[in-house]
Amino acid sequence: MDIFQAIIIGIIEGFTEFLPISSTGHMIVASEFLGVPQNITTKAYEVIIQFAAILAVMLIYKEKITFKQTALWTKLFVSFLPLVVVGYLFKDQIKALFTVETVAWMFIVGGIIFLIVEYFYEEKESHVSTVEEVSFMQAIWVGIAQVFALIPGTSRAGATIIGGLLVGLDRKTSAEFSFLLAIPVMAAVSGYDLLKHYEEFSNADLTAFIIGFLVAFIVAYITIKLFLAFIQRFTFVAFGLYRILFGIILLMII
């Protein structure tokens, strides 16, 4: 992987990780078109830029990463568990799904679900408006929804946001709970991959890795800020339409 490829993939990771449009799906597609081989070095690079995205979230929500927020993090841990259990039990079957065609179809299916949920969604005063108010039961249901993100192209952010909307969270709270839930999820996945592939860092182009890390961090930070501003004024319909269009284009060119 050269520096140009590292920058492009770093931008894609930072921009798509926290939007409901599937970072994994976009990176699979980008790697195909950039000619980046899906080898162990590439996997090691993906670990690096995922850590960059995690740090961006932690910086934005640093006031929530304290012992005063123990109750919130307990709920996030409960929400995190279904993904761990299902991901471990079916890891081999999940790996077999990593194809561009699967990504394309899940983009379309996810986009249709977003449009349906938004069509029936109504703003109510009774909606949960802060992440601290999310109940344990709501957290569990969001965690169950997150399991669908194991299918490439579904989007972890998309699955958790939809789950949040369906159990009574408002749009902003659904997004923020999704962002915070990404911390234990991505830390666990990236940490596991790091332990598996740590030897590859000695043979990698560290310059490309460092540049990609910085790019992913900056883009993720800016994207989260802009996304929060966007959903306080608009709905998720635009993301649903984008997913459908992107999926159709993929099916046409593969």
What dihedral do alpha carbons 21, 23, 24, 26 form, nearest 10°?
A: 80
Contacts of 81 (CB under 8 A, 6+ apart): 143
The pLDDT mean for the chain works out to 89
- Residue 199 predicted with pLDDT over 70: no
How many other C-beta atoms lie within 10 A of the C-beta of residue 151?
21
Q: In this predicted model, which residue has the larger pLDDT, 88 or 245?
A: 245
CA torsion sign for 116, 53, 253, 32 is negative
The tokens describing 25, both together, are 């799906």
| Bridge partners (DSSP) listed for residue 128 | 169
**pLDDT tens readout for residues 207-249:** 888 999 999 999 999 999 999 999 989 999 999 999 999 999 9
What is the pLDDT confidence band of residue 202, given thresholds at 50, 70 and 90?
Answer: low
> What pLDDT shows up at residue 231?
93
The tokens describing 71, both together, are 């109750």
The tokens describing 222, both together, are 């800016």
Q: Distance (Å, rounded) from C-alpha 156 to C-alpha 139?
A: 15
What is the pLDDT confidence band of residue 204, given thresholds at 50, 70 and 90?
Answer: low
Question: Averaged over 24-30, what is the pLDDT?
Answer: 80
> What pLDDT shows up at residue 26?
85
